[in-house]
Amino acid sequence: MKMSDHQPGKSGLLERVDAERHFTDPGNGEAAWIEVIQKMDEVYADLVRYQVELEEKNSALEEAQRFIESVQRSMTDVLIVCGINGRIQQVNRALEEITGKSARQLVGKPFATLFEDESRKLVAYFPEKIRSETLYDCEVSLIGSDGRPAPLAMNCSSRFDHEGRLVGMVLIGRPVGELRRAYKDLHATHNELQHAQQQLVHAEKMASLGRLVAGVAHELNNPISFVFGNMHALKRYGSSITHYFNALHSGDDETKLRKLRDDLRIDKILGDMGSLIDGTLEGAERVRDIVQDLRRFSGNHREAPQRFELCPVVRTSVEWVVKAARRKPEVVLQMAESLEVVGNKGFVHQILVNLVQNAVDVMENLPTPRLFLRCFREGDKVIVEVRDSGPGIPRENLMRVFDPFFTTKEVGKGTGLGLYISYGLATDQGGDLRVGNHPDGGALFSLSLKAA
């Protein structure tokens, strides 16, 4: 029987004294005796009460201990508690599992022996450092149960006793093996995504290139036809000159030669030659430029940012698209004589082609389509505004036009990538692309670029 089972107040001692009082003569000594016994009873009752309290506290303590143990057991993070001397006082199951050593083997050992060489040098400073600060996310590695390093992100803080004296430190480490693997996977996926995006840009570029071919062909037709014309003229001139030279060498007399010279119009030929050759060269140069633009446009490589004159790029972009359009809009171009920007010429070309193409598409069925282009400098930026006389963009779509695959065109007509890619190309070179509707109607896109 436990002491606490005894009911205080019903002590056998007092009962007996009560009973004896009936048979003996009550006197003064006896009263004192009774008092003593009463006191003893009180003390005994107190004792029993204390005992009960103690037992209750003890079981609460045991409960708390079990709770703490269960929490420590369930922790996936590693816990190491050390004394001021750096010797391990307590560890949890996570550490036992990682190191393959039991708590009994570990307690009393210097904590640094748990770590592999490189980390050991680092953790050697922990006891000193925690005096002034708590350490967060230190990358350290334990020696794993298989002898291989087990990487952890470790926090370390000082531990004080109830009087505020430093008595040791607490190390908590999160295994980061999983995290590292997840990070590696993420990295690989990100790379794949980037690759896919590059391909997408290229595919979209090729698609727009296809649409542009008609315009470019028209562009090429012009210089090529006057190169041809000039060459035919030069050929004719050549045979006249040969004829005249032959006469010169055969020793014909002066008057005959003069007549021949007039008939063959040698003087006019000599006067024309220079401009014919210049014109031919110009035509050839124009062809070379168009081919260069085309190559830049279709190129999948990333050019380093360069300084270039924006106006010719704007002109060719518009020409290419407009020439290829079924219904050619009236183009109103408004730009300064010279606007130098820094960026990627090919990208700017591609963006403008996309914007102009969209404008042309949206005005396809208008009786008098008009396209307005305005380029101007604003602070350290150069702005290119592309505006059309179409219906504009509904409010609810304004936020979505830059989303990939957002298109209101019929299936097969648009991929919905044009603006998404253009936006990326603009921001890639430190610029920006914005959309809105003009108060006088029509959509207004403004491309901002870095001024040179």
Ligand X SMILES: Nc1ncnc2c1ncn2[C@@H]1O[C@H](COP(=O)(O)OP(=O)(O)OP(=O)(O)O)[C@@H](O)[C@H]1O
Residues interacting with ligand X, by CB under 6 A? 354, 358-359, 362, 388, 390, 393, 401, 406-409, 414-420, 443
Rounded CA-CA distance 313/338 in Å is 12
In the block, residue with structure tokens 């279709």: 298
> Binding partner of residue 305 among ligand X, Mg ion, none, CB under 5 to 8 Å per kind?
none
Q: How far is the CB of 418 from Mg ion (least distance, A)?
A: 3
Q: Which of 92, 280, 316, 358 binds Mg ion (CB under 5 A)?
A: 358
- Residue 388: name its binding partner from ligand X, Mg ion, none (Cβ under 5 to 8 Å by kind): ligand X
The encoded tokens of residue 26 equal: 């009550």
Query: Minimum CB separation from Mg ion for residue 390, in Å?
Result: 13
CB of 421 to ligand X, least distance (A): 8
What is the H or E stretch that residue 41 is in? helix 28-74
Query: What contacts 317, CB < 8 A, 6 or more positions away?
Result: 349, 352, 353, 356
Give the sheet arrangement for strand 88-91, strand by strand: 88-91, 78-83, 166-175, 149-160, 135-143
What's the closest the beta carbon of residue 212 comes to ligand X, in angstroms?
12
* Closest CB to Mg ion among residues 91, 362: 362
Nearer to Mg ion, 204 or 385 (CB): 204
**Nearer CB in complex with Mg ion: 126/445:** 445
Interaction partner, residue 369 (ligand X, Mg ion, none; CB < 5-8 Å by kind):
none
φ, ψ for residue 331 (rounded to 5)? -105, 125
| Pairing of β 443-451 and β 381-388 | antiparallel
What is the residue whose two structure tokens read 């690759």? Answer: 195
> Which residue's CB is nearer to Mg ion, number 354 or number 389?
354
> For the chain, how are helix, strand and coil distributed in percent, rounded to 5?
55, 20, 25
Q: What H or E segment, with its residue span, contains residue 310?
A: helix 310-324
Using CB distances below 5 to 8 A depending on partner kind, what does residue 443 bind out of ligand X, Mg ion, none?
ligand X
For residue 445, which phi and psi values (nearest 5 degrees)? Answer: -105, 135
Cβ 426 to Mg ion shortest distance, Å: 14
Binding-site partner at residue 425 among Mg ion, ligand X, none, CB < 5 to 8 Å by type: none
Question: 106: which residues sit within 8 A by CB, 6+ positions away?
Answer: 88, 91, 95, 96, 99, 114
Q: Does 215 bind Mg ion (CB under 5 A)?
A: no
State the minimum distance, in angstroms, from the CB of residue 385 to ligand X: 12
Q: What is the dihedral of CA 76, 78, 81, 86, to 10 degrees?
A: 180
**Residue 422 found at the interface with Mg ion (CB under 5 A):** no
Task: Please select the residue that binds Mg ion; options are 151, 283, 418, 424, rule is CB under 5 A.
Answer: 418
Residues in 292-321 at the binding interface with Mg ion, rule: CB under 5 A: none
In the complex with ligand X, the residue whose CB is nearer, 266 or 435, is 435
Contacted by 362, from ligand X, Mg ion, none: CB < 5 to 8 Å by type: ligand X
Cβ of 329: how many Cβ atoms within 10 Å?
23
Question: At its nearest, how many Å lie between ligand X and the CB of residue 310?
Answer: 21
Measured from the CB atom, is 99 or 422 closer to Mg ion? 422
As measured in angstroms, the least distance from the Cβ of 375 to ligand X is: 18
Phi-psi category of residue 379: left, alpha or beta, with phi > 0 → left and psi -120 to 50 → alpha? left
Residue nearest to Mg ion (CB): 418
Q: Burial code of 23-53, b = ≥16 C-beta within 10 A, e = fewer? A: eeeeeeeeeeebeeeeeebeebbeebeeeee
416 binds, among ligand X, Mg ion, none (CB under 5 to 8 A by kind): ligand X
If the CB atoms of residues 82 and 421 are measured against ligand X, the closer one turns out to be 421
Q: Which stretch binds Mg ion (CB under 5 A): 51-59, 88-96, 274-282, 350-358?
A: 350-358
Nearest distance in Å: CB 415, Mg ion: 8
Between 415 and 446, name the residue whose CB sits nearer to ligand X: 415
Q: Provide the residue type at 407 as one letter.
A: T
Binding site residues, Mg ion, CB under 5 A: 358, 418
